Chains A and B, each alone.
Chain A
Amino acid sequence: MEVVNENSAMLSNFEVYGLLTDIQAGRGQNKPNKHQQQLATITYETIKYLETKPCKHQSEESITEFMKELQSFNLTKAEKVQILNLCPTTAVEIQLIIEESEERLTEEQIYKLLDIIVKYNPTEADQEEDNLAEMDSSND
């Protein structure tokens, strides 16, 4: 077997999650048969891991919108994929992901970036807060 291209494209967690759930449901091109025990194992483990990540709550539309908003920040492909997969919530995390963030982004831009991330990737804590807020307002 010969490797033609080691890295033809970068996939986000969301895309891999979609592919693996398809394989598990038997909807992919290769239905899992009784000889593919190892594939079943790794599919199961990887799905379990990805479900703990924010990609579980993402959708294709939210990701396309998210990418459009990120365009104004001039980030590299690797940085965009990391932000999508990790959903940073603090400025420290942004500094880790984006190289030379102090030189490339002003403080205002960093906060704007964090706001956009929260807008498109509500965490479960935010969703619970929203639900509680709705309950409070309906009880009034």
Chain B
Amino acid sequence: NVGLCIALWDVTKLEDSYIFPGDGASHTIVNFRYVVFRPFMDEILTGKTKSCSKEGVYVSIGIFDDILIPADAMQHPSRFDDKEQLWAWEYETDDGKHDLFMDIGEEIRFRVVDEIFVDTTPSGPDGTANQPSEISDTESKKTPYTIVGSISEPGLGLLSWWNS
């Protein structure tokens, strides 16, 4: 529950090596520091919109794809356009309402509001072993680390909305 591990930074301590009975390998306790990607709460990040659905907008930052901006964290007011399958911010100016669409592949700035860690280690086999085992895609789609973002503040959302 640490974040996305990237690479080793350094090793701080190497302790003695032991050999355990029944096991030919040698075991060493090592203290090391690792570089981890883990944005802190309320951090501002910039990414690209990956896809839109009723649940919200999915954002990717190249190395990490599982970022969701849920429907209730959009700019107020926003709506999901079924025809285009895109989210749009209903921006009101003096001459009426404009729909600012959140197109795919656009740069978007968001604030990190929550992170979800899910344990995806495989559990043991179930008791009902009579049924032929099918690989069910819906079960195995749990991502171990998901970031929840928000764009409901001035300055957040598509960069093109705020750059004059």
Contact = CB atoms under 8 A, between A and B. Distances in A.
Interface of A: 3-4, 6-8, 11, 16, 19-20, 23, 29-30, 39, 42-43, 45-46, 48-49, 52, 78, 82, 86, 90, 92-93, 95-97, 99
Contacts of B19: none
Nearest to B31: A4
28 contacts: A3-B2, A6-B2, A7-B38, A11-B35, A16-B35, A19-B35, A20-B6, A23-B7, A29-B8, A29-B10, A42-B63, A43-B6, A46-B62, A46-B63, A49-B62, A52-B62, A78-B40, A82-B43, A82-B44, A90-B162, A92-B162, A93-B44, A93-B155, A95-B154, A95-B155, A96-B44, A96-B155, A97-B44
A42 B77 CA distance: 38
B44 A30 contact: no
Looking at chain A's contact residues, is the secondary structure mostly helix, strand, loop, or mixed? helix
B76 interface: no
B43 A78 contact: yes
Nearest to B45: A86
A136 to B, nearest CB: 25
Contacts of A3: 2
Contact of B9 (A19, A43, A82, A93): A19
Interface of B: 2, 6-11, 31, 33, 35, 38, 40, 42-44, 46, 61-63, 109, 111, 153-156, 162-163
Most buried by A among B11, B63, B111, B154: B63
Contacts of B11: 29
Contact of B46 (A20, A48, A86, A92): A86
A30 B8 contact: yes
B10 A96 contact: no
Nearest to A6: B2
A13 to B, nearest CB: 11
A42 B64 CA distance: 10
A16 B38 CA distance: 13
Contacts of B8: 29-30
Given A39-B7, A82-B44, A49 B61 contact: yes
Nearest to B30: A1
A48 B63 CA distance: 9
B115 to A, nearest CB: 12
A76 to B, nearest CB: 11
Contacts of A97: 44
A2 to B, nearest CB: 10
Nearest to A44: B63
A23 B35 CA distance: 13
Given A4-B31, A11-B35, A48 B153 contact: no
A42 to B, nearest CB: 6
Contacts of A95: 154-155
